[in-house]
């Protein structure tokens, strides 16, 4: 049971209602995380604006793969479930998505990106010069590295938010504990 209650779009304040209507148009549904964020129209707007802004140097697939790796590190089943579905919609195979959740990839460049993203999470941003050299050697530009850090930060926010709220999962369930154990 959620610890912070979702707001139904019809009951939201005007700003949140408008934002949730945009989510409905874009996704064809309003996920529970967005309904719960709607408790604060500022938080919902901030998340949506930050998420929309991150459509530059990284591909949608890369963003989903990083989101999965961060969800795996942070044990966020809600985000793992959502980003597995979104990653599938971005054309990533189920096998690759499962590997991404535990920070693995069959593609060398993607692996470098996931390794770097996990280092950012685990070391609270204090990556080494070697970490930067490795990701650059894999072909990532400075702009892409900056966006990886931004995607990590945004996903830490959603992971922590969903832990606090205990958001009800409304996507096909993905269990981060089971994934880590396999």
The count of other CB atoms within 10 Å of the CB of residue 45 is 16
Residues 83 and 143 grouped into a single domain: yes
What does the alpha-carbon distance between residue 88 and residue 85 come to, in Å, rounded to a whole number? 5
pLDDT band with cut points at 50, 70 and 90 for residue 182:
confident
Q: How high is the mean pLDDT of the chain?
A: 97
Residues 80 and 160 grouped into a single domain: yes
The count of structural domains within the chain is: 2
The count of other CB atoms within 10 Å of the CB of residue 102 is 17
Q: What is the mean pLDDT of residues 20-49?
A: 97
Domain, as residue range, for 115: 60-181
Query: What is the C-alpha end-to-end distance of the chain, expressed in Å?
Result: 28
pLDDT digits (tens, 9 = 90+) for 117-132: 999 999 999 999 999 9
Residue 127 in any domain: the answer is yes
Residue 4 in any domain: the answer is no
Residues 71 and 47 grouped into a single domain: no
Q: What is the mean pLDDT of residues 153-171?
A: 98
Residues 43 and 121 grouped into a single domain: no
What secondary structure letter does DSSP report for 9? G
Residue 15 in any domain: the answer is yes
Residues 71 and 160 grouped into a single domain: yes
Residue 2 in any domain: the answer is no
Which CATH number characterizes residue 43's domain?
1.20.5
pLDDT digits (tens, 9 = 90+) for 49-92: 999 999 889 999 999 999 999 999 999 999 999 999 999 999 99
In 3D space, the residue among 38, 29, 28 whose CA is nearest the CA of residue 8 turns out to be: 38
Using CA of residue 149, residue 153, residue 158, residue 164, what is the dihedral sign?
positive
**What's the pTM value of the predicted model, to 2 decimals?**
0.96
């Amino acid at each position: 049971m959620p610890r912070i209650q979702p707001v139904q779009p019809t009951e939201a304040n005007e700003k949140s209602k408008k934002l949730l209507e945009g989510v409905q148009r874009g996704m064809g549904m309003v996920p529970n995380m967005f309904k719960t964020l709607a408790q604060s129209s500022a938080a919902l707007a901030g998340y949506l604006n930050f998420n929309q802004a991150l459509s530059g140097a990284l591909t949608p697939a890369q963003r989903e793969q990083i989101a999965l790796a961060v969800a795996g590190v942070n044990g966020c089943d809600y985000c793992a479930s959502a980003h597995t579905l979104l990653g599938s919609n971005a054309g990533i195979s189920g096998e690759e998505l499962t590997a991404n959740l535990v920070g693995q990839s069959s593609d060398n460049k993607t692996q470098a990106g996931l390794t770097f993203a996990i280092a950012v999470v685990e070391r609270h941003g204090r990556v080494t010069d070697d970490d930067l050299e490795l990701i650059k050697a894999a072909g990532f530009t400075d702009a892409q590295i900056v966006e990886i850090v931004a995607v990590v930060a945004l996903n830490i926010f959603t992971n922590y938010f969903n832990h606090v709220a205990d958001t009800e999962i409304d996507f096909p369930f993905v269990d981060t504990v089971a994934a880590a154990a396999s």
